Amino acid sequence: MPTTREATLAALYARLQPLAALILRDEVLPERIPAAGLIILRDGQPGEPEVTLSPLRYHYQHRAELEVVVQASNGRATAFDSLIAAIGTALETDRTLGGLCDWVEPEAPASVDLPIEGAAALKAAVITVVLHYTTTGPLA
């Protein structure tokens, strides 16, 4: 049986799967970016939990990251914006990831253009997704 942390991250990964972009988890950036874009889910850090006693519970605000990358010679900004909006819609559909966490909250992306010699530039951003969940122990 997976830990609450792993179950929540797996649910986030599954929530992103219907998007047109290629979705990876903790992988290296591939050499080629698909036309629909690329999203890499990074597990991130659970941080220091708030602890309540009786019953003992650990309340985390886990900060996972989505690396979003689009490469297009024409309409790169529009494709990037559409992908960001699709991520937002996917997360808003079920803010509890099927009841695995209390709340999912994405933070606004800060995008950057990355020039590639001999190819169309990449437009990329990291979106932090805060996963609020509770466990019975730091390793549960």
* Residue 119, burial from CB neighbour count under 10 angstroms (0-12, 13-18, 19+): exposed
Strand partners, 64: 129
What share of the chain in percent tops pLDDT 70?
Answer: 100
Domain boundaries, the chain: 4-135
Fold of 4-135: STM4215-like (3.30.2000)
- pTM of the full predicted structure? 0.94
The per-residue pLDDT of the chain, averaged, comes to 94
Label each residue of 18-47 as H, E or C: CCCCEEEECCCCCCCCCCCCEEEEEEEECC
In which band, very low, low, confident or very high, does the pLDDT at 114 lie, cut at 50, 70 and 90? confident
